[in-house]
Amino acid sequence: MRVPVIAGNWKMFKTAGESAAFAKAFLPLVAGVSGVEIVLAPPFPSIAPLAAALSGSGVGVASQNVHFAAEGAYTGEVSPAMVKDAGAAYCIVGHSERRQYFAEDDESVNRKCRAALAAGLTPILCLGETLAEREAGKTFDVVSRQLREGIREIPPAQAPKVILAYEPVWAIGTGKTATPDQAQEVHAFLRARMREIWGDAAAGVRLLYGGSVKPDNIADLMAREDIDGALVGGASLSPDSFARIVKFK
Ligand code: PEP
């Protein structure tokens, strides 16, 4: 039984004060919701204040990135232990915006995943094809490579601590959601590839869909067998719309 995860990625939005105000408005809207793991990923400076504002609520906090080293001369970077110390229990790794604008590749994504696990964080490993790759019929090759390289050297015993997010790049921030059929097709493919690598442990890995998830499309996506939650960008910025997504049932 995989507990669904609804995670909000705030990208480079919300100050510390705005994050705390979000928590104040959001928590009453989801009071009494059970059976869903809720996660919010604010910018680094808002991790500690958001974690404080959410304290005791069961809503988790994620960083949007981490560096793979524990410490060192890496100006501008933040280590897994530092985000954990600030109150995060999860970290997003390999988001397509990081891959596109900050030259992250499969190797660095893998190093970040392993560093996150070693520090006791749950990595939310993102992967997905661009529009050009989909149109060229390369979707399965691309996500297969990103999965294989992203989880390289992570043993089956650690598989349940990893969350995967399939985010077709053409659906992120565009308002174009993959249809539930399109998403399920890739999720089932990824589940089968995970099984080849991790064996039976693959059955317990949560596989989220991301790409223009909104209150009015979440239920159809969540009804599909291999879709275990969502990574939500734009629609997670408003307490009301994010709460409606969390309450998809
Ligand atoms: C994201 O940032 O991961 C994302 C899926 O964004 P949006 O929901 O805005 O498409």
Q: What is the pLDDT of residues 150-207, one digit of tens each?
A: 999 999 999 999 999 999 999 998 888 889 999 999 999 999 999 999 999 999 999 9
Q: What is the mean pLDDT of residues 111-134?
A: 97
Residue 206: the pLDDT is 98
Distance 230 CA to ligand 1 centre (A): 9
Query: Of all atoms in ligand 1, which is nearest to the CA of residue 214?
Result: 8
**Predicted structure pTM score:** 0.97
Share of the chain above pLDDT 70, in %: 100
Q: Give the HSE-up count for residue 194: Cα atoms under 13 Å, Cβ half-sphere.
A: 26
**Helical spans, DSSP H, in the chain:** 16-30, 47-54, 80-86, 96-101, 106-118, 131-135, 139-150, 180-198, 218-222, 239-246
pLDDT > 90? residue 105: yes
Residue 234: the pLDDT is 97
Q: What is the mean pLDDT of residues 22-44?
A: 97
Catalytic site includes residue 167:
yes
Mean pLDDT for all residues in the chain: 97
Q: What is the mean pLDDT of residues 135-159?
A: 97
**Of residues 37, 67, 95, 133, which has the active-site annotation?**
95
Residue 74 to residues 102, 122, 200, Cα–Cα distance (Å):
14, 22, 38
Distance 199 CA to ligand 1 centre (A): 30
Contact 133, 142 (CB under 8 A): yes
Rounded Cα distance between 202 and 209, Å, is 17
Query: Of all atoms in ligand 1, which is nearest to the CA of residue 126?
Result: 3
Is residue 16 very low, low, confident or very high in pLDDT (cuts 50, 70, 90)? very high
Residue 175: the pLDDT is 85
